[in-house]
């Protein structure tokens, strides 16, 4: 007898008719001889409605009471679902997060799951009941109701599947799978038959709202196979599982985070440890930051830019105002009219010219790139919000994500669509469960040092559409493989671009840099004594404390960080070559308890 977790999102339980349809799906699974746990969301747009009620009363409602309020949406659905199942003749029992024993930390609206006790669910399942669990909620040590963050029912579902060692976790939603990008924005997007945990985690974290990114962290950590499919049809859907060999394509999908906010802290004292203190404030407030770029230092001061999600912008404003005083910076600026367009793919680690292709695509449709940040499996460009959809479409098209696979390509990836029945045992799960103190604790796979890098910084380039495309065209002409790229716009609309290349490219990159400087009348700096330190794992960007601990560990052993790249599976920093080994040693010690 298999155990299956089925999750139904808001649209899939929007009215009683749909609740009945979901109930019938669960019964069908039970009639096939399986035990079934259902996880349900609030009906339709109920969570939005509850939030708007609170906002009618107050701009910044108390966070404990907001969680109390929002959790009621799911409570309505579980009861109705149990009623629907019983009316269809099947035994059922509904549980809130607290009743099911989902223990979380006390971070209201973004609580992380610490533990799940499965006894009550097991007992009900053994009695032949379908168990219905409220998604998105838990309870802290003081029995306060907490919620996991918008879209968090996916995380409840995968976490329950992991805790119960379920054979499968089916996510029923209003699209029939994971697409190459949001099909509502780009209708020519294609459904993927299969996607790897790392790619899905990165896409979800960069804006692909089809899955809550933290659910994918769970899935990867505990080896849970996730099947995303439509609640309105029996189409095959998408399997999210371990890495897949993909047919030559460097990019598997594109994502848009439409509501981003850029913060620039101006005049930060250029002293070791200062930027670290700035980010510690954000880590403490559990506000994830992305696209961190540091501008050139003038008179001992630098400007530091980064992005946060607009949902966090109000709190971020308070945090940055306090930080500016504390670190003695000059002032800060906030731009709330930006969006982040990203492409993601495991294949880009092996191919040159991927970033250049993206910059070209944006340039050709006249979109100005305000910031660039790359990491091992993603490239992100910050653009004006009005340009967001144009930029997403252009990037999607540039990587031929809209082109149907050939029969041969399809059959190459189809073999792996089978769900491996022993995936749970294959996952790192058994080993992990005995080590983790909390189910959502961050997992580190290792610390790496690459001390064969050269850093190139181009200062004071004219900030206009096509700049990055032109610069990286010249680099590509020299057949130079580029690693980290960071572009930020500085004062007076002048842009800085920093990138790294392998040391063997020193000669050719020096020649290219000369050319670029001559044509733009800009100046440059080439540092051939740099090393890249990377921490690998999963969920590294959204576990806000991790990058901060990395910066702090390095600052404590007097290692200065110049360039930062962030993704969910890798945080990379550039340091002085002479400090690479000591940095690695200290990082290994710092993360010893989380490394598996
Ligand atoms: P649910 O309420 O079922 O959790 P969501 O609205 O959270 O549903 O997620 C489904 C939506 O995610 C889709 O309707 C689609 O517009 C959006 N989406 C964003 N990116 C993607 C993608 N890459 N593939 C499929 N859907 C996506
Ligand atoms: N109801 C919650 C929300 O709308 C959780 C979820 O649907 O996943 O965010
Ligand atoms: Mg959702």
Would you give per-residue pLDDT tens digits along the chain (596 residues)?
899 999 999 999 999 999 999 999 999 999 999 999 999 999 999 999 999 999 999 999 999 999 999 999 999 999 999 999 999 999 999 999 999 999 999 999 999 999 999 999 999 999 999 999 999 999 999 999 999 999 999 999 999 999 999 999 999 999 999 999 999 999 999 999 999 999 999 999 999 999 999 999 999 999 999 999 999 999 999 999 998 766 678 899 999 999 999 999 999 998 878 888 899 999 999 999 999 998 766 678 889 999 999 999 999 999 999 999 999 999 999 999 999 999 999 988 777 789 999 999 999 999 999 999 999 899 999 999 999 999 999 999 999 999 987 777 666 654 444 444 444 444 455 566 666 778 999 999 999 999 999 999 999 898 888 999 999 988 888 778 888 999 987 777 788 999 999 999 999 999 999 999 998 888 999 999 999 999 999 999 999 889 999 999 999 999 988 899 999 999 999 999 999 999 999 999 999 988 87
Residues 6+ apart with CB under 8 A from 496: 293, 295, 296, 457, 458, 459, 460, 461, 487, 488, 490
Let me know if 26 is exposed, middle or buried by CB neighbors in 10 A (0-12, 13-18, 19+). Answer: buried
Residues of 400-434 as b/e, b for ≥16 C-beta within 10 angstroms? ebeeebeeeeeebbeebeeeeeebbeebebeebee
State the ligand closest to the CA atom of 8. Answer: 1
Ligand 2 centroid to 317 CA: how many Å? 26
What residues does ligand 1 touch, defined as CB less than 6 Å away?
A: 9-12, 41, 151, 173-175, 178-179, 181-184, 208-210, 253
Ligand 3 centroid to 363 CA: how many Å? 33
Q: Which long-range contacts (CB under 8 A, 24 or more apart) does 585-588 make?
A: 586/553, 586/554, 586/556, 586/557, 586/559, 587/447, 587/533, 587/535, 587/550, 587/553, 587/554, 588/447
Predicted pLDDT of residue 276? 84
Predicted pLDDT of residue 247? 60
Ligand 2 centroid to 107 CA: how many Å? 17
* pTM exceeds 0.75, yes or no: yes
Predicted pLDDT of residue 480? 84
CA dihedral 105, 170, 230, 179 (to 10 degrees): 70
Report d(CA 545, CA 552) in Å as an integer.
10
Predicted pLDDT of residue 134? 98
Predicted pLDDT of residue 417? 41
With CA atoms as reference, report the closest residue to 255 among 176, 186, 338. Answer: 186
> Counting atoms of ligand 2 from 1, which one is nearest the CA of 153?
8
State the ligand closest to the CA atom of 240. Answer: 1
């Amino acid at each position: 007898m298999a155990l299956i977790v089925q999750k139904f999102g808001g649209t899939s339980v929007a009215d009683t008719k749909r609740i009945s349809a979901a109930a019938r799906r669960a019964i069908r699974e039970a009639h096939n001889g399986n035990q079934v746990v259902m996880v349900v969301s609030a009906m339709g747009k109920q969570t939005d409605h509850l939030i708007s009620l609170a906002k009618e009363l107050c701009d910044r409602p108390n966070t404990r009471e907001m969680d109390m309020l929002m959790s009621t949406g799911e409570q309505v659905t579980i009861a109705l679902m149990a009623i629907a199942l019983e009316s269809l003749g099947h035994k059922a029992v509904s549980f809130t997060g607290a009743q099911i024993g989902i223990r979380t930390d006390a971070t209201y609206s973004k609580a992380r799951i610490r533990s799940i006790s499965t006894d009550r669910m097991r007992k009900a399942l053994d009695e032949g009941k379908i168990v219905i669990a409220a998604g998105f909620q838990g309870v802290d040590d003081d029995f306060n109701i907490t919620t996991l963050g918008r879209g968090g029912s996916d995380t409840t579902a995968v976490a329950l599947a992991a805790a119960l060692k379920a054979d499968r976790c089916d996510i029923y939603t209003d699209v029939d799978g994971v697409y190459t990008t949001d099909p509502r924005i780009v209708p020519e997007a294609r459904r993927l038959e299969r996607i790897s945990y790392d790619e899905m985690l990165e896409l979800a974290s960069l804006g692909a709202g089809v899955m809550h990114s933290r659910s994918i962290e769970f899935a990867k950590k505990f080896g849970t196979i996730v099947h995303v499919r439509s609640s309105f049809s029996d189409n095959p859907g998408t399997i999210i599982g371990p890495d897949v060999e993909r047919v030559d394509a460097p990019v598997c999908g594109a994502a848009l985070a439409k509501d981003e906010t850029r913060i620039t802290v101006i005049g930060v004292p250029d002293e070791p440890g200062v930027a670290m203190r700035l980010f510690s404030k954000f880590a403490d407030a559990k506000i994830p930051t992305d696209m961190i770029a540091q501008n050139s230092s003038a008179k001992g001061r630098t400007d530091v830019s980064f992005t946060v999600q607009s949902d966090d912008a109000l709190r971020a404003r308070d945090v940055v105002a306090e930080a500016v005083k504390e670190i003695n910076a000059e002032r800060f600026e906030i731009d709330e009219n930006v969006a982040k367009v990203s492409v993601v793919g495991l294949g880009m680690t092996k191919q040159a010219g991927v970033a250049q292709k993206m910059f070209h695509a944006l340039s050709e449709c006249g979109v100005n790139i305000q910031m660039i940040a790359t990491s091992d499996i993603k490239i992100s460009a910050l653009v004006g919000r009005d340009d967001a959809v144009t930029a997403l479409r252009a990037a999607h098209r540039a990587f031929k994500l809209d082109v149907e696979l050939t029969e041969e390509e399809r059959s190459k990836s189809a073999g792996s669509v089978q769900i491996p029945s022993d995936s749970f045992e294959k996952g790192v799960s058994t080993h992990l469960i005995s080590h983790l103190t909390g189910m959502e604790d961050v997992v580190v796979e290792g610390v790496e040092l690459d001390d064969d890098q050269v850093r190139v910084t181009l200062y004071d380039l004219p900030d206009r559409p096509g700049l990055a495309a032109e610069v990286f065209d010249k680099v590509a002409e020299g057949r130079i493989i580029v690693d980290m790229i960071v572009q930020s716009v500085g004062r007076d609309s002048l842009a800085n671009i920093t990138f790294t290349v392998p040391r063997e490219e020193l000669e050719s990159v020096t020649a290219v840099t000369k050319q670029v400087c001559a044509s733009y009348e800009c100046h440059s700096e080439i540092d051939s004594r740099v090393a890249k330190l990377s921490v690998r794992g999963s969920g590294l960007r959204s576990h806000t404390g991790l990058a901060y601990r990395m910066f702090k560990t390095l600052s404590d052993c007097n290692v200065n960080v110049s360039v930062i790249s962030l993704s969910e599976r890798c945080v990379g920093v550039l340091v002085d070559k002479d400090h690479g080994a000591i940095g690695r040693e200290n990082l290994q010690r710092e993360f010893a308890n989380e490394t598996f």
